[in-house]
Amino acid sequence: MRFNQVRDFLAIVDAGSIRAAARAQGVTHPALTKSLRQLEEELGVELIRRSTRGVSLTAMGQAFAARARAIQAEIRKAEEELAALSAPGGGMVSVGLSPTAIPFAADALAEFLEQHPLVRLRVVEGPPSVLVPLVRDESLDFAIAQKTRLTAGAGLRFRPLYRDRMTIACRAQHPARNGTTIDELADLCWLGLNPQGAGSLVEQIFAAAGKPFPRRFVQCESFAFAFELMARTDAVMPVSAPVLASPAAAGRMSEIHIEPPLPPLILGLCSRQDVRPTPPAALLSKSIAERLLSAAARAAKLTR
C-alpha cells in the first residue's frame, strides 16, 4: 500500500464520485480507478461501491477511511514539522472550540499569533458532535469542548479544565421566564448544539428530571443562530452562566431559574491518546488550558 493510493481513496470519498475526484486531482478517470482497484486488491476487501449516483463506502471502507485520514494527518504533521525545522517559526495548528470556550481562548489565540506570526491557524467552532470526530481523524490537533459521551470515546483523552453553572436562557420578555421546574418548560421548543443521542445538555436535563426528551427540539450547530432564534421566538436553550452574562446577551436574554439546579458545564481539552502534538499545537493548547484553569480558580473563589 502506497500513500498515493490512500490519498486517491480519500479524494474519491470526499468528492462523492471517481469522476469528480479525478477533476479535483487533475488526473484521468482511468488512473484514479486503477489506483483504487490496486488498493482494494492489496487489502483484499471492497472499500467503495459504485453506482450511477456516485460512490458509497462499504463497512470495510468506513473502517479504512478513519485510519486513512489519520495516516494522511500524520504525514501532514510530519511535513509541517520538517518545514518548521528548515524554516523555524512555521507550521500549522488546527483547533476546535466550543462556543462557550471562545471567550477564554480568544486572548490565547491572539497572543499565539503575535508570538508565532508564521504559523497558519485554523479554528473550527462547533459542538462536540462536530469537533470530536475531527479530533479523532486528526483533522483537528485538539478541541476545547464540553464533556459528553463523545469526548470519552476510545482512543481519546479528555482533560477537564473549567467547571461552571448552567442555566436556561430565553428572550427577555418570555412568558415562561418565571418558571421554576422542567415540567413548566417541557412543552416549549428547546434548542441544542448536539443531536439527540449524543449526551447533549438537553438530554441530561430531561433525564435528570425523569422526563422524556422534548417533543419540540431544534439542533443548532451555530451558536450565533441559536441566540437569534431565541430572540425572535419562545424557544429556550441551556447555556453556561458566562454566556448569559456576555455583551451579546445583555438586554436580550433572561435566565429561567429552575429547581433542582442543572448539571454543571465541564469544559476540557480533547485530544487523541496516541498522537504526539506538533510543537505549535502543544504551545497553543497549553496557553488555552492555562487560561481556562485560571478562570476556573477565579470562579471557585467567587462561590466560596
CATH number of the 3-68 domain: 1.10.10.10
The one-digit pLDDT tens for each residue of the chain (304 residues) are 777 888 888 888 888 888 888 887 788 888 888 888 888 888 888 888 887 777 888 888 888 888 887 777 777 777 666 666 555 566 789 999 988 888 889 899 999 999 988 888 999 988 888 888 889 888 899 999 988 777 777 788 999 999 888 888 888 889 888 878 888 888 899 998 877 776 677 888 888 888 888 899 988 877 888 888 988 898 999 888 777 777 777 778 888 888 888 878 889 999 988 788 888 899 999 999 999 998 888 766 655 5
Give pLDDT tens digits for 265-293: 889 999 988 788 888 899 999 999 999 99
Measure the CA angle with vertex 191, ends 171 and 163; round to 5°. Answer: 90
Residue extent(s) of CATH 3.40.190.10 domains in the chain: 89-163+266-303, 166-263
3-state SS record for 4-48: HHHHHHHHHHHHCCHHHHHHHHCCCHHHHHHHHHHHHHHHCCCCE
Fold of 89-163+266-303: D-Maltodextrin-Binding Protein; domain 2 (3.40.190)
Rounded to whole angstroms, the Cα distance separating 127 from 144 reads 10
Angle at 145 between CA 140 and CA 148, to 5 degrees: 115
Q: Where are the beta strands (DSSP E) in 186-244?
A: 190-192, 217-219, 237-240
What's residue 179's pLDDT?
77
Rounded to the nearest 10 degrees, the angle between the axes of helix 3-15 and helix 18-25 is 120
Asked whether 243 and 249 are in contact (CB, 8 A), the reply is yes
Do you find a cis peptide bond into 264, omega within 30 degrees of 0?
Answer: no
CATH class label, 166-263: alpha beta
Portions of the chain given CATH number 1.10.10.10: 3-68
Are the C-beta atoms of residues 39 and 29 closer than 8 Å to each other? no
Residue range 56-69, pLDDT digits in tens:
888 888 888 888 87
